[in-house]
Amino acid sequence: MSFGKDFLSRPGGRYLLTGGSVYLLEIVIIFVAQALGASPVTAVAIGFIIGTTVSFIIQKFFTFGDKRTHHKIVLSQAVAVALLVAFNFGFTVLATKLLQDILPAAVTRTLALLTTTTWNFFLYKTKIFKQSNVQPIT
């Protein structure tokens, strides 16, 4: 098996590919938003919201192969991800606020992303998209 096929055959490899792609999307959004006059905090917030929305869809279907679309399952997953996103959002914006006079917004976002990536993968794999553990909201 080639490296590419082996890498993409595992959730961790697909997670890194997806994350890297969404990261690039967010960085472009940050630069564009700042070029249009947004502050570093606002630019990172916009990139974060768009990036996490795109990431949820790709992570569910591509990374973790969860093809279930029943509204109760998707709602359960959306609630879990919304809670995680709210925490990640607060962490990211706070980090940007604390570091905005020291580091460029893209660097701050990168540091926050490296931190959140680790706990996100664990929670996605073991709780949110684990098909045997997903309990629909009734």
3 — pLDDT class (breaks 50, 70, 90): low
On whether residue 138 sits in a domain, the answer given is no
Residue 117 has pLDDT above 90, yes or no: no
pLDDT digits (tens, 9 = 90+) for 43-62: 999 998 899 889 889 999 99
Question: Rounded to whole angstroms, how far apart are CA atoms 134 and 67?
Answer: 13
On whether residue 135 sits in a domain, the answer given is no
| pLDDT (average), residues 27-45 | 96
Per-residue pLDDT at 134? 45
- CA-based R_g, the chain, Å: 16
On whether residue 83 sits in a domain, the answer given is yes
pLDDT digits (tens, 9 = 90+) for 56-102: 899 999 999 888 889 999 899 989 999 998 999 899 999 999 999 99
Residue 20: how many CB atoms within 10 A of its CB?
A: 10
On whether residue 55 sits in a domain, the answer given is yes
Amino acid code (one letter) for 132: S
On whether residue 36 sits in a domain, the answer given is yes
In the numeric block, which tokens belong to residue 27? 């960085």
Per-residue pLDDT at 32? 97
Q: How many domains does the chain have?
A: 1
**Structural domain for 67, as ranges:** 3-128
On whether residue 34 sits in a domain, the answer given is yes
Question: What DSSP line would sit under the chain, residue for residue?
Answer: --HHHHHHTSHHHHHHHHHHHHHHHHHHHHHHHHHTT--HHHHHHHHHHHHHHHHHHHIIIIIS------HHHHHHHHHHHHHHHHHHHHHHHHHHHHHTTTS-HHHHHHHHHHHHHHHHHHHIIIIIS-TTT-----
In the numeric block, which tokens belong to residue 12? 């961790």
Q: What percent of the chain lies above the pLDDT cut of 70?
A: 92
Residue 135 has pLDDT above 70, yes or no: no
Give the predicted TM-score (pTM) of the model: 0.69
Per-residue pLDDT at 9? 87
On whether residue 11 sits in a domain, the answer given is yes
**1-10, 23-32, 73-82: least confidently modelled range:** 1-10
Nearest in space to 129 (alpha carbons), one of 8, 5, 11, 17: 11
In the numeric block, which tokens belong to residue 96? 């940007």
Residue 133 has pLDDT above 60, yes or no: no
On whether residue 134 sits in a domain, the answer given is no
